[in-house]
Copies of this chain bind each other. A is one copy, B any other.
Amino acid sequence: MDPIRIAVVGMGKIARDQHLPAIAGDTAFSLAATVSPHDKGIDGVPHLESLEDLLAKGPAVDAVALCTPPQVRYDLAKMALTRGVHVFLEKPPGATLSEVDALTERARRAGASLFAAWHSRFAAGVAPARAWLADRHVTSVAIVWREDVRVWHPGQAWIWEPGGLGVFDPGINALSIATHILPRPFFLRRGVLQRPENRSAPIAADLVFCDTAGTKITMDLDWRQTGPQSWDITVETDAGTLKLSRGGSVLTLPSGTEHSEDREYAGLYARFATLIRTGRSDVDTSPLKLVADAFLRAKREIVEPFNE
């Protein structure tokens, strides 16, 4: 089978740190081009300033990976899908739920594959956590996601703009794991979002969800964490405690701790190749829906200005 010719659109940190190495390591793909108005690309690979240029002038591509900020994702995805080009959407899949619905319908009509990628679902501990929880009775869940925004998102102005998710940009990773491993759907009951007075997006959130059996799920998000960082999900069950830490890569069960090699983006690209080869899409908006619900339902507080 010929490799899938893919272009990476948006050459920021996530493209260079994750997408390019994952594509280079997967024989199902060949990197056909990179696209960015702000970047020179990489040696030996055609580089274009815009997706329009790429689609007009070539080189030919079968698929694109959109690694731009979410605010401009819809127009690019629409342009690609309209030409039958398969689309990989970095998380979050869009700036609104309704635009992602519109893309899903467009992909269906175009016969192209659309993949809303949730990289944390491919962290090493997540699949075994899901399997272990499938036949357990969950009694409570605590999500603690506390990191230092200055360390992890330096200079990313878009993340604070409307359509950027603020502290939910990392927080949605936790929600993508929780919606995947917990045996029941859950939804927000109450919460508080804290927004710096000089920013458009929240810097912290304190949320209480419950699942359809009434089990409580708490979520503590904070971007002001210095010192030790936390990306932990603790699930209490009738068979003891499950803990996923380091963003899903380390799984601790009553029987002990498993450390496995992390292959998040390799897993995503393998999945994307399967979707393309089998003519399917995979667009699960449930993590973004929970974030939209938090923006809709939570109480809002203004906190002190944040300056980088």
Closest to A78 in B: B212
Interface centre among A185, A200, A290, A292 (most CB of B within 10 A): A292
- Residues of chain B contacted by A105 (CB below 8 angstroms): 185, 212
Q: A212-B102, A299-B200, A300-B200 are in contact. Are A293 and B96 (CB under 8 A)?
A: yes
Q: A292-B292, A293-B292 are in contact. Are A99 and B200 (CB under 8 A)?
A: no
CB distance from A41 to the nearest CB of B (A): 30
CB distance from A76 to the nearest CB of B (A): 14
Contact yes or no, B300 A195, CB < 8 A: yes
Q: A98-B289, A99-B187, A293-B97 are in contact. Are A212 and B298 (CB under 8 A)?
A: no
Residues of chain A in range 162-202 having any CB-CB distance to chain B below 8 Å? 162-163, 165, 185-188, 190-191, 195, 200
CB distance from A219 to the nearest CB of B (A): 13
Q: Is A244 an interface residue (CB 8 A)?
A: no
CA distance A105 to B212 in the complex (A): 10
Contact yes or no, B102 A188, CB < 8 A: no
Interface size on A, as a range, is 35 or more
Q: Is A258 an interface residue (CB 8 A)?
A: no
Contact of A190 among B162, B298, B299 (CB under 8 A): B162
Q: Is A286 an interface residue (CB 8 A)?
A: yes
Q: Is A39 an interface residue (CB 8 A)?
A: no
Q: A185-B98, A289-B97 are in contact. Are A302 and B299 (CB under 8 A)?
A: no
CB distance from A121 to the nearest CB of B (A): 18
Q: Is A106 an interface residue (CB 8 A)?
A: yes
Closest to A187 in B: B98
CA distance A302 to B196 in the complex (A): 12
- Residues of chain B contacted by A298 (CB below 8 angstroms): 162
Contact of A293 among B98, B187, B300 (CB under 8 A): B98
Q: Is A224 an interface residue (CB 8 A)?
A: no
- Residues of chain B contacted by A106 (CB below 8 angstroms): 212
CB distance from A63 to the nearest CB of B (A): 22
Per-residue CB proximity of A285-303 to B under 8 Å, as 1/0? 0100111110111111010
